[in-house]
Amino acid sequence: MRNVQITSNDAEIDQRLAELQPYVETGLTVSVSQPGRRTKDGGTEHSKPVVEDYSQAVPGEELREDVSIYNRKVEEFKKECPDFDAVVGQDLPIFLSVRNAILKMPNGPQIAHFLGSYPKLAAALCNLHPLEAARHVQEISDDLARGILPIDGDNYQAWKLARERNGK
């Protein structure tokens, strides 16, 4: 079995910011070091690493399908909510895990509109671990489907308390 070490030369802040980037800006370059070469006189000579560039990587088929389905739902939701583009079109930071969760939810456009309507709640999700934030999107989806809305949507703690009072 070979030992594999995966390292990044990006600073920690760059790695964290990369999580927030849209898919179209994602790229990856992989450098794989090679074992040294033996020379005729018994010495070892350095080998150049193999560099693979995936900067032209495109989202997978599943993501494209999720986006397509989500876009169809958005067109239907816009009939009920004409301010959708203005509310959702804000520059709000969200994790890719949150975006993926929204795309997969049956009421994804409603969730996106809800988070756009309450930007402080959307910002509070960024203070969580990305997977925990995605789990909260599922809770928001359930709450919206049942008609449970926070008293003060800008207050994340108030939303959590209202949710607990209503029996999740």
Q: What is the pLDDT of residues 141-168, one digit of tens each?
A: 988 888 776 555 555 566 666 666 665 5
Closest CA to 93 of 150, 25, 17, 155: 17
Give me the residues paired with residue 45 across strands.
Answer: 37
What's the rounded mean pLDDT across residues 101-129? 89
**What's the token pair of residue 124?**
């509070």
What is the predicted pLDDT for the residue at 23?
46
Lowest mean pLDDT among 16-20, 66-70, 123-127: 16-20
How much is the pTM? 0.59
Percentage with pLDDT > 90 across the chain: 15
The residue written with tokens 């040294």 in the block is 36
Does 21 score more than 60 pLDDT?
no
Query: How far is CA 147 from its chain centroid?
Result: 26
**What's the token pair of residue 59?**
């989202």
Look at 61 and 57; give whichever has higher pLDDT. Answer: 61
The residues, ordered by sequence, that sit 6+ positions from 164 with a Cβ below 8 Å of its Cβ are none
What's the rounded mean pLDDT across residues 97-110? 92
User: Helix axis angle, 96-104 relative to 130-146, nearest 10°?
Assistant: 30
What is the predicted pLDDT for the residue at 57?
55
Q: Would you list the domain boundaries of the chain?
A: 12-53, 61-165
In total, the chain counts a number of residues equal to 168
Kindly report, residue by residue over 120-144, the tens digit of the pLDDT.
888 888 888 888 888 889 888 988 8
Please calculate the CA angle 161-166-168 and round it to the nearest 5 degrees: 85
What's the rounded mean pLDDT across residues 71-92? 90
